[in-house]
Amino acid sequence: MSEQLTLYLHKIQLALAEANAPYKAYQVDLRNKPEWFTSKVNPVGQVPVLTYGGPNVNPDDPSSLSAKIAESNVILEFLADLYPDSGLLPKDPVLRAKVRFFIDATIKHIEGTYLAFVQGNESFDNVLKAIEFIQELLEEGSDFAVGEHYTIADACISPHLARLKIVTETGIGNFPAGMGYKLGEELEGLKFAKFRKYAQRMLGRPGFKQIHDEEAVIGYFKRRFTNRIQ
């Protein structure tokens, strides 16, 4: 699978691991998509995609009887529905709204502004504001983004935090030279202590270490980000 997309896959794998949910995984070669994948599983050809239910078949022989669910954030909510006692979403409506607001902020500020910065299309200042917005939502000293348990909010942001760490440590990205390191320096400062500590805790979780292949992501970044703006 393209490295770019493992980010979205990892959100789901993290949630599955934290919920102790059984699943089978099948890696789709996106440069050589099998016909059965596009016609039977996901007409848009996207990954990640989940099939649910239907008879037990080999992953490369999907049944028409299973439900097909695409979009990483839709899948995260689906897992929270399937495993209502896993803590992936709290039971309380107000806390659930906080989890969803955190995910919405991640989509806007990380999958939006921060990714645009890495692609060379957004200012350094705006990235700092974006990360600050996320930080404001974190509870001081809490192990998790929202409440007392690992939720889909943590699963949603963690893969991004790992890639942010790589960008600040290697300077790889399409932003002007040095900006990656500069971002790292800002995030080391007092102002971002809460964010940094939260990120360290997320990346230190056994579930995360199991799925993250730092070398593979670095290799992908080197191939992908070759067009620095001046």
- The contact set with another protein (CB under 8 A) reads 52-53, 67, 69-71, 73-75, 77-78, 81-82, 93-94, 96-97, 100-101, 104
Give yes or no for a contact between 33 and 45, defined as CB atoms under 8 angstroms apart.
Answer: yes
Cβ 78 to another protein shortest distance, Å: 4
Cβ 165 to another protein shortest distance, Å: 28
Cβ 159 to another protein shortest distance, Å: 18
Q: Which is nearer to another protein, 65 or 177 (CB)?
A: 65
Cβ 73 to another protein shortest distance, Å: 7
The DSSP code for 191 is G
Q: Which is nearer to another protein, 6 or 73 (CB)?
A: 73
Give CB contacts under 8 A, 24+ apart, made by 68-73: 68/41, 68/42, 70/42, 70/44, 70/46, 71/46, 72/8, 72/9, 72/11, 72/12, 72/48, 72/156, 73/11, 73/103, 73/107, 73/156
> Quick one: tokens of 35?
């016909």
Q: Which is nearer to another protein, 70 or 203 (CB)?
A: 70
Q: Which is nearer to another protein, 89 or 217 (CB)?
A: 89
